Amino acid sequence: MYIPKGNILIEDVVLTFQDMRDMQANLSVDEFTGYVKLALETSCAYLFYDSGAVIQVLEVDNDTGIVTLQLEQRLINRIKLAEISCSTYVTSKSVVSVFTGMFAFQPLYVDYEVTKRDMPRVLEKLQDGRYSGLLRLSTREGTYYLVVNNGEMVRDRFCSYYGEVLCGSDEVDRILNFEFDSEGATLSVYVERADEIESKRAAKEEELEKIKTFRVKSDGGFLRAKDIVKVDTYVVREWNMDMKNSFSVEIETPDGSLYEYKCQAGNKFGDRAGLPPEMMKKMGLSEDDIISMRPL
């Protein structure tokens, strides 16, 4: 999924982790609305802001284009030791609101050869379905991006566009009415019904709430099982897992690698996860490294 650029504040600037965090602090103070793009090794992360607060974090796989919801803290833990290519784009609240639902978008039209006569039917379908999402119209003159929110095209009274996104009423009407030198255009529409987006968001956020972050604690011993990770009993209780028997968990290391192991409840671990030295060595972990974990 391609996320159109807004108005550029910075673009493809390599920052240290601390500089990136300082930038985020400044955006918060300035009540920034828009999004920050972080270019990771195999994906891009997008932090969406509304009036200085991060309201959604999405990650787009570079190969597949699949969009997933992420926790901000989980993302931060993965990039602490790296320099990151950052871009920051200004948009309106309405554009941000639609973009945060991109994880749920489905293709309604893909490379559809559309004419001026076809467009009213397309718009009626979007309105009747109360769809939210993104339209891309490609012509000989260029490519145009428009945003639809709950069946209505997003229009801005005071701004004609945000980067690649057209939002001024005159500009939106010009494109929808085919007021350009082209006989036809290719239309792609990626949307989902507004109520379905919220339903999927609630389910995803409930799943993300199960992800916990821990500091690694070396936990060995002669009789200690070498393939079991231990976390505090209160965490197992929050996960609603069996307190007496082991269960499977997924562990994400700071470099983004994923591992599956068995887990058991333990006493007095607090915010730490007890890992045998052999397990730590296999995952390339050291004492006090930050890992994320969720039950499977």
Mind listing the pLDDT tens digit for each residue in 28-68?
999 999 999 999 988 999 999 999 999 999 999 999 999 99
CB 187 within 8 A of CB 134: no
User: How is residue 121 written in tokens?
Assistant: 């039917």
**pLDDT tens by residue, 281-293:** 999 999 999 899 9
How far is Cα 48 from Cα 55, in angstroms, rounded to an integer? 6
Q: What percent of the chain has pLDDT over 90?
A: 76
- Window from 75-79, 151-155, 181-185 with minimum mean pLDDT: 181-185
pLDDT at 182: 66
CA distances from 38 to 53, 71, 79, 281, 293 (A): 17, 14, 10, 29, 23
Helix, strand, coil share of the chain (percent; to 5): 25, 40, 35
**pTM of the full structure:** 0.82
pLDDT at 184: 75
How far is Cα 75 from Cα 77, in angstroms, rounded to an integer? 5
**pLDDT tens by residue, 213-243:** 999 999 987 778 888 999 999 999 999 998 8
* pLDDT bucket at 181, cuts 50 / 70 / 90: low
pLDDT at 261: 95
* pLDDT bucket at 207, cuts 50 / 70 / 90: confident
Is the model's pLDDT at 118 over the cut of 70?
Answer: yes
DSSP annotation of 69 = E
